[in-house]
Amino acid sequence: AQKITQTQPGMFVQEKEAVTLDCTYDTSDPSYGLFWYKQPSSGEMIFLIYQGSYDQQNATEGRYSLNFQKARKSANLVISASQLGDSAMYFCAMRELYSSASKIIFGSGTRLSIRP
């Protein structure tokens, strides 16, 4: 069965430092996609970055990068040079790409707070 685990309920980081948000997953499907979303205090869900299970390189999008370790089933989000606007809830999610179920599951989230 699919499962996503985010073990850090909350984190505090100094502005301009890099931060790593942990995400581990479990699936029996060899083909899957991993997503990270940001939810600011205003409540909307913002897509940040995607990693496919067969992608050879770690995904990057601006200040966001994904530290994908397939053998360890981890897909940690790295935010470089954190900014005050990065304070938000962050969710890791997984979709089994070729499963007929097409369910999408989310982790419980990590609340990131950036200190000035």
Q: Which chain residues interact with other proteins by CB under 8 A?
A: 4, 6, 9, 33, 35, 37, 43-45, 47, 50, 52, 91, 93, 97-98, 101-109
Which secondary-structure segment (H or E) carries 92?
strand 88-96
Task: Give least dist CB 23 to other proteins, A.
Answer: 11
Check if the beta carbon of residue 112 is closer than 8 Å to that of residue 13. Answer: yes
Smaller CB separation from other proteins, 78 or 105: 105
Task: Give least dist CB 17 to other proteins, A.
Answer: 25
Smaller CB separation from other proteins, 85 or 102: 102
Task: Give least dist CB 24 to other proteins, A.
Answer: 14
Smaller CB separation from other proteins, 12 or 47: 47
How many CB atoms are closer than 10 A to CB 24? Answer: 17
Placement of tokens 């940690």 in the chain = 76
Smaller CB separation from other proteins, 93 or 112: 93
Q: Which two tokens stand for residue 1?
A: 């069965």
Task: Give least dist CB 79 to other proteins, A.
Answer: 18
What one-character-per-residue DSSP string does 37-59 give?
EEE-TT---EEEEEEETT-SS--
- What is the C-alpha to C-alpha distance for residues 100 and 103, in angstroms, rounded to an integer? 9
